[in-house]
Amino acid sequence: MRTLIRTAFCLWLGVAAGTAWAQTYPAKPIRLVEPAGPGSAVDVFARQFGPMLGEALGQPVVIDNRAGANSAIGAREVARSAPDGYTLLHGNINNSLNDLLSADPCCRLNEALIPVARLTVTPLVMVVHPSVAANDLRQYIALGKSQPQLLTFASGGLGSITQLLGEKFKATAGIGVREIPYKAIGAELPDLLAGHVMTAYLSPVVVQQHIRAGKLRALGVASSRRLAIIPEVPTLAEAGLPGVEASGWNGLFVPAGTPRPVIARLAAETAKILASPAIKNDAAISGYEVDAAGPDEYAAYIRAEITKWGKVIKDSNIKLEQ
């Protein structure tokens, strides 16, 4: 009986301490670590979302870019931070793919980094430099078959969603396209615009203006439906290559051990922000979908993504880091 009483008392103290923490949180500025490079689609969203979260919480939210290693550098830093709600990760799909490609358990999602809320889901757009002698997807595939290894595609490095989508595309189309890896999401854009790399899979908000200006040519959207902001661009299935779909997604994470009431507060404020007219309007303009999945739903979604892309990694014989 005494043991039960002590256990119940300890649980009560834990709940009381967590509640008290949540009532005083936040008491100082919050750092939102962005593991992608400046100017990338996820960075653009973070710089819109951060001030809105800061206003809701009553404390500034400072964006801190820590790009590199397929978004692992920023994730590692957050995972090693104090679990107090003052260091957040604006994680993306590449962080989940790292769990498949690295033996280092430093920053595994759902373990070292706990999901708070999913923010956006964005279908990727296949674009080529205008110098590529292909006006549509069928011509691109024909070019790849007639001149093996001529074509190149940019990726965000080992295990990035752009690498895996490129591998899925190659396998489905039955052509060879040489991968040119870059150190971070969005780092390939200058080389793509200059024609140093021929193909890339990017967010619509990043490529829309370049498509309109004729600096890039869009061959297809890796989605089940067209995007309202570039309605003239067919899906890859419509263009002649079914079964190739991929979206980038991003969301908030905190270090394991962060008090549950703090996570709940962050999730609740995030849901309100994503339901705001400003975000809904931006989503329509930028071509992403808003999805305020909470901690549990987001965790399940991440597990499903790991299963999906794990098959591509196996089929493409992409090797794990040692």
pLDDT at 16: 46
Distance CA 140, CA 142 (A): 5
- 225 lies in which domain range? 125-239
Distance CA 153, CA 182 (A): 11
Q: Do 140 and 206 have their domain in common?
A: yes
Q: Do 129 and 142 have their domain in common?
A: yes
Asked whether residue 292 carries a pLDDT value surpassing 90, the answer given is: no
**Whose CA is closest to 122, among 311, 282, 278?**
282
- Give the start-end residues of each E strand in the chain: 30-34, 61-65, 87-92, 113-123, 125-128, 152-155, 178-181, 199-202, 217-221, 247-255, 289-290
CATH classification at residue 51: 3.40.190.150
Terminal-residue alpha carbon distance, the chain: 51
2 part of a folded domain: no
pLDDT at 9: 45
Q: Do 131 and 117 have their domain in common?
A: no
Q: Which of 18-22, 113-117, 264-268 has the lowest mean pLDDT?
A: 18-22
For 176-212, the pLDDT digits (tens) are 999 999 987 678 999 999 999 999 999 898 899 999 9
Q: Do 38 and 105 have their domain in common?
A: yes
Of the segments 69-73, 136-140, 289-293, which one has the largest average pLDDT value? 136-140
Q: Do 266 and 180 have their domain in common?
A: no
CATH classification at residue 185: 3.40.190.10
Measure CA 58 to chain center.
Answer: 27
Q: Do 149 and 204 have their domain in common?
A: yes
Q: Do 166 and 270 have their domain in common?
A: no
Asked whether residue 6 carries a pLDDT value surpassing 80, the answer given is: no
Q: Do 305 and 255 have their domain in common?
A: yes
Q: Do 215 and 307 have their domain in common?
A: no
Percent of the chain having pLDDT more than 70? 92
Domain count within the chain: 2
pLDDT at 270: 97
270 part of a folded domain: yes
Here the contacts of 270-273 (C-beta below 8 Å, separation 24 or greater) are 270/53, 270/116, 270/117, 270/119, 271/117, 272/56, 273/49, 273/52, 273/53, 273/56
For 22-61, the pLDDT digits (tens) are 578 999 999 999 998 888 888 989 999 999 999 999 999 9
Residues 6 or more apart in contact with residue 313 via CB below 8 angstroms: 97, 100, 101, 159, 164
For residue 173 the two structure tokens come to 């189309």
Distance CA 137, CA 141 (A): 6
3 part of a folded domain: no
- Confidence band of 321 (pLDDT split at 50, 70, 90): low
DSSP H or E run through 51:
helix 41-57
10 part of a folded domain: no
Which of 183, 204, 239 is the C-terminal boundary of a domain?
239
17 part of a folded domain: no
Phi-psi region of 203 (alpha: psi -120 to 50; beta: other; left: phi over 0): beta
Which of 239, 272, 301 is the C-terminal boundary of a domain?
239
Q: Do 110 and 257 have their domain in common?
A: yes
Which of 212, 239, 266 is the C-terminal boundary of a domain?
239
